[in-house]
Amino acid sequence: MCVCQTMEVGQYGKNASRAGDRGVLLEPFIHQVGGHSSMMRYDDHTVCKPLISREQRFYESLPPEMKEFTPEYKGVVSVCFEGDSDGYINLVAYPYVESETVEQDDTPEREQPRRKHSRRSLHRSGSGSDHKEEKASLSLETSESSQEAKSPKVELHSHSEVPFQMLDGNSGLSSEKISHNPWSLRCHKQQLSRMRSESKDRKLYKFLLLENVVHHFKYPCVLDLKMGTRQHGDDASAEKAARQMRKCEQSTSATLGVRVCGMQAGVDHVILAVSYMSQVLEKEMKAQEQRLGIRISMSHEEEPLGTAGPLALARDLLSETADPFFVLNSDVICDFPFQAMVQFHRHHGQEGSILVTKVEEPSKYGVVVCEADTGRIHRFVEKPQVFVSNKINAGMYILSPAVLRRIQLQPTSIEKEVFPIMAKEGQLYAMELQGFWMDIGQPKDFLTGMCLFLQSLRQKHPERLYSGPGIVGNVLVDPSARIGQNCSIGPNVSLGPGVVVEDGVCIRRCTVLRDARIRSHSWLESCIVGWRCRVGQWVRMENVTVLGEDVIVNDELYLNGASVLPHKSIGESVPEPRIIM
């Protein structure tokens, strides 16, 4: 189970962090949802971004009639790296002077920019700080040649942490109210990496100043849209033109003339209900917490608590704010309509909203009976033999904190014990999902979901898929995995970190998890191979065979639909599907 809390974004200090001509400290603009250049906050009313000559000419030659539809153009500033006495590296903006150059020796003569309200800076790896830090650390991925580059005062290490400081006491905001947009952090990291790779000597960069059009909104809703059926310019290279045309063909650009490239969803805290192998998940979530710039908490179940009990276990975390929270079943994949569901929940104003989806054979499921116009739920019917509804629970909810009063800290089913009472009291509404949905709770469905995910990568991020000798179709391979000679891998295969595939192996429609080894000349189809498993030579496994953690399969065996629990050693063939305990 996954619980997501919605984000409350506060307002920064009224003035920029500046003092006369001592420069302005820049920080990532937290509402950026698209683009590849980093958008920086200059002050409450102004943002800045790296200067593109064509964009500058556009703003400077804009007809007066169009200015009311565009952000106000405020000119150009010079931006550079600067280190301070605490060991932080900052991006600082100074007034732009035509043909201005700065030598390295000039830096000590400048006074340090003053911080009046906020501080979000790049810190050297290993340095300490007296300030509270939000650990949204980022690695600056740079080329080998750029690793020699240094800023004037402080070396910018290629794998240094990048903690962004909390606002200080002058801001009037608690740390829980501040969060970081993951796309903004990603763009900021890439921007720093690019600037660093170019800064072998002291260098100033030109940035545009533009009006911050969301400054007067407390909860801005930001969309990044691509308009039109063509996104490449006449001067684009053949490769770029082909790439842009492919994106248009595979999206709503071709059918509607517009596509959504980015959206501010507003989730800043994720709570995971975990039990088995929680330490592995916790390690991975720490990395994701830093990458996404959000808070991820673990709620550990010592015993199974059903689908509602984990909410009672996480009551203290969920009660930190009065905001509603999402509840997601982790065995479901779909087009998650977060924004639409928040709007739906606020519109009806009751305690709970659930997502429903239509199915062709409702007799296999528990169905939801609700009003067609309002979505108010009347009742739930388990596997009806006569038609009453074709809508089923899609495993995504948004609940108000008041729901927590209904749940005791004991094994409880939210679907059978909590929701029916809420429906009877008129407190539960259903919103119908218009997009894709799939239950991946069973191994065969998990493999199908993996295939759909790989196909999605093919359409949206083909560069992430692996290619090479013996690779067939969509294959995802971790950089640390090793593949031997004369292998046939794919279609629809995922190889995790540290996986070793020896010579002559054939793998199709399989997931092979971390540190597993497949010995030479084995044949695997429709299998899930767990962490640190060892599959011997000349083994054949098929028909949704699942190996738990640390399973050993001896040489020359046949496994047909076997489900093997962790830490087992298989010494004989399994010709018929069964569970091995």
pLDDT tens per residue, range 389-427:
999 999 999 999 999 999 999 999 999 999 999 999 999
Which tokens go with 45? 């009313």
The confidence score (pLDDT) of residue 154 equals: 29
Least confident segment among 184-188, 222-226, 520-524: 184-188
Who contacts 243 (Cβ-Cβ below 8 Å, separation ≥6)? none
The confidence score (pLDDT) of residue 87 equals: 59
The confidence score (pLDDT) of residue 557 equals: 97
The confidence score (pLDDT) of residue 75 equals: 92
176 vs 174: CA distance, rounded Å: 5
The strand pair at 40-43 and 46-50 is best described as: antiparallel
Mean pLDDT for the chain?
Answer: 79
Least confident segment among 241-250, 395-404, 411-420, 515-524: 241-250
42 vs 49: CA distance, rounded Å: 10
The confidence score (pLDDT) of residue 266 equals: 66
510 vs 546: CA distance, rounded Å: 10
394 vs 434: CA distance, rounded Å: 12
The confidence score (pLDDT) of residue 247 equals: 81
> What is the arithmetic mean of pLDDT over 424-436?
91
Share of the chain above pLDDT 90, in %: 41
The confidence score (pLDDT) of residue 279 equals: 77
Look at residue 118 and tell me whether its pLDDT is greater than 70: no
Residue whose structure tokens are 């962490």:
531
217 vs 224: CA distance, rounded Å: 17
Burial class (CB in 10 A: 0-12, 13-18, 19+), 134: middle
Look at residue 236 and tell me whether its pLDDT is greater than 70: yes
| Highest mean pLDDT out of 87-91, 413-417, 444-448, 541-545 | 541-545
Side-chain half-sphere exposure of 35, counting CA atoms within 13 A: 18
242 vs 237: CA distance, rounded Å: 9
Nearest in space to 292 (alpha carbons), one of 193, 192, 183: 183
pLDDT, greater one: 564 or 333: 564
> What is the arithmetic mean of pLDDT over 118-137?
34
Look at residue 198 and tell me whether its pLDDT is greater than 80: no
pLDDT tens across 322-343, in order? Answer: 888 999 988 888 878 888 898 8
The confidence score (pLDDT) of residue 492 equals: 97
Beta strands in 301-399 (DSSP E): 325-328, 332-334, 352-358, 366-370, 377-382, 391-399
The confidence score (pLDDT) of residue 126 equals: 35
Active site residues: 383
Q: Answer yes or no: are the C-beta atoms of 527 and 544 closer than 8 Å.
A: yes
Evaluate the CA torsion angle 574, 576, 577, 579 in order and state its sign.
negative
Least confident segment among 47-61, 291-305, 413-427: 291-305
Q: Answer yes or no: are the C-beta atoms of 498 and 513 closer than 8 Å.
A: no
The confidence score (pLDDT) of residue 495 equals: 97
Q: Answer yes or no: are the C-beta atoms of 419 and 311 closer than 8 Å.
A: no
The confidence score (pLDDT) of residue 100 equals: 52
34 vs 262: CA distance, rounded Å: 5
Asked whether the whole model's pTM tops 0.75, one would answer no
12 vs 44: CA distance, rounded Å: 7
The confidence score (pLDDT) of residue 194 equals: 73
Look at residue 441 and tell me whether its pLDDT is greater than 90: no
DSSP symbol at 154: S
308 vs 414: CA distance, rounded Å: 5
Residue 7's pLDDT band, with cuts at 50, 70 and 90, is very low
Least confident segment among 23-32, 118-127, 504-513: 118-127
Domains of the chain are 10-222 (no CATH), 226-263 (no CATH), 301-439 (3.90.550.10), 443-580 (2.160.10.10)
Tell me the β-bridge partners of 182: none
Look at residue 197 and tell me whether its pLDDT is greater than 80: no
288 vs 222: CA distance, rounded Å: 23
Look at residue 189 and tell me whether its pLDDT is greater than 60: yes
pLDDT, greater one: 438 or 211: 211
Q: Answer yes or no: are the C-beta atoms of 521 and 503 closer than 8 Å.
A: yes
**For 364, phi and psi rounded to 5 degrees?**
-85, -5
Which tokens go with 516? 């597993």
Residue 293's pLDDT band, with cuts at 50, 70 and 90, is low
Residues in the chain: 581
Side-chain half-sphere exposure of 479, counting CA atoms within 13 A: 1
The confidence score (pLDDT) of residue 48 equals: 92
229-233, Cβ contacts within 8 angstroms, sequence gap of 24 or more: 229/253, 229/254, 229/257
97 vs 374: CA distance, rounded Å: 61
The confidence score (pLDDT) of residue 192 equals: 72
Which tokens go with 398? 């948004």
The confidence score (pLDDT) of residue 26 equals: 86
The confidence score (pLDDT) of residue 86 equals: 62
> What is the arithmetic mean of pLDDT over 496-505?
96
User: What is the maximal distance between C-alpha atoms in the chain?
Assistant: 84
| Highest mean pLDDT out of 130-134, 169-173, 559-563 | 559-563
184 vs 180: CA distance, rounded Å: 7
Look at residue 534 and tell me whether its pLDDT is greater than 60: yes
What is the torsion angle, in degrees rounded to the nearest 10, for the CA atoms of residue 575, residue 527, residue 495 and residue 469? 70
The confidence score (pLDDT) of residue 127 equals: 34
Q: What is the CA radius of gyration of the chain?
A: 27
Look at residue 501 and tell me whether its pLDDT is greater than 90: yes
Look at residue 524 and tell me whether its pLDDT is greater than 50: yes
Who contacts 499 (Cβ-Cβ below 8 Å, separation ≥6)? 478, 481, 482, 512, 513, 514, 515, 516, 517, 518
